[in-house]
Structure 1
């Protein structure tokens, strides 16, 4: 984005004036502020309609979440992650989600599992017949599965690591074939939940996340220097 806020984003940003942390986080995660980009406080404060004080507090909060990095005498930059870091994030996510799905298979009422099936039906409908359709970003199957486990600390931990994965994958364009495959994999997970097969559900969600990781790594590694050192 360089040093300017893209005009298409201004209307959305103005709508959320006063919610600097949420808006700034969204701008980082949706690519409005790209990995490696410096956060220009003057331009951001004007675009968000807030003073520099609240903006700096929001930037500090994002730094504590690992989404922004403060560089002495240079300012704050959106974090860039290596392929090794992305792999680490996915390993943590797999550990958390396999535990969550086991709990969900053992304890979730069937009507809640049926709601997951409806979510997937709605997802398929929204994708329609377009073979180039991406998986709808607002229909977060994984968050719904974790909520079935009824363990707020699990959801908090997954939200934190999920944001880092989203930022690390910011350079990965969606792949339509993967979106359709992901939907099929989600349906298989729901089937395992319905049959109360906690180990099968865990195996399926692990395989699903490994596929997602491999897809992201294929893109991320093509952009990394041969020696694995990040560019300055």
Structure 2
């Protein structure tokens, strides 16, 4: 199921594009680029010291996150970043949808499906502190879990909500404590799937999702005035 086929995945984007992404994102979140500001390629190229190709990649990724809007014949325009309150509501919606999808996934999943999820979790555990795309490994794990529900339209809604989270966590350096917590929770999710224990599955999953809101709060605090 190719949920992300038309999305730009940071794992597949060059280092220069990620540098441009971080610089433009920080301009928006810090208020240096105000809502309504046009992001003109030639000006960004001069200001950031990065070529137009990487800047275009960065703007595409920022467009998915809702921090910019790509307007025909006008280019990229800065949007108002979400407040913490809005992020709280996004996470509330995420929990409601993702718990439903997880319960459906448990009913549909085969032993082979659960083993495939376990392989993904094992790769996350083995990735080490140098892994810079931990957020996307985590996102892929959740996506695969929800795809087992065979409800692609609801999965697409969850993916769109996750795009808003991406702006804050895509380049975050996860601490060893948070990596260990996420890996432990994923192992518990897999164990609950194997045991067909819906109560444990949904409780662990909700806790896992809401840890992300704490991380978003930390990221927002970095840019508060």
RMSD: 3.8
Task: Confirm or deny that 1:47 pairs with 2:86.
Answer: no
- Larger mean CA deviation between 116-125 and 34-43 belongs to 34-43
Aligned equivalent of 1:96: 97
Aligned equivalent of 2:66: 66
Partner SS state of residue 81, structure 1: coil
Aligned equivalent of 2:151: 151
Partner SS state of residue 127, structure 2: helix
Q: Structure 1, residues 184-210: CA drift from partner, whole Å, max 9, x if none?
A: 001101111111112321111001111
- How far the C-alpha of 1:172 sits from its partner, in A, is 5.0
Cα–Cα, structure 1 residues 133 and 62, in superposed 2: closer, same or farther, change >3 Å?
closer
CA distance in 2, matches of 1:103, 1:23: 27
User: What is the count of residue pairs matched by the alignment?
Assistant: 193
Contact 1:120 1:183 survives alignment (8 Å): yes
Aligned equivalent of 1:113: 114
Contact 2:84 2:220 survives alignment (8 Å): yes
Q: Structure 1, residues 52-88: CA drift from partner, whole Å, max 9, x if none?
A: xxx7xx87x938x7341589x9x71265222112111
Structure with max Cα Rg: 1
Contact 2:182 2:208 survives alignment (8 Å): yes
Q: Structure 2: where are the runs of 5+ without partners?
A: 1-5, 46-50
1:34 to 21, 25, 28: 25
Cα–Cα, structure 1 residues 214 and 157, in superposed 2: closer, same or farther, change >3 Å?
same
Partner SS state of residue 22, structure 2: coil
Partner SS state of residue 78, structure 2: strand
Q: Structure 1, residues 78-133: CA drift from partner, whole Å, max 9, x if none?
A: 65222112111111111111111101111211110111111111222222xx5x75
Aligned equivalent of 1:213: 213
- How far the C-alpha of 1:48 sits from its partner, in A, is 2.5
CA distance in 2, matches of 1:188, 1:144: 16
- How far the C-alpha of 1:134 sits from its partner, in A, is 5.7
Aligned equivalent of 1:187: 187
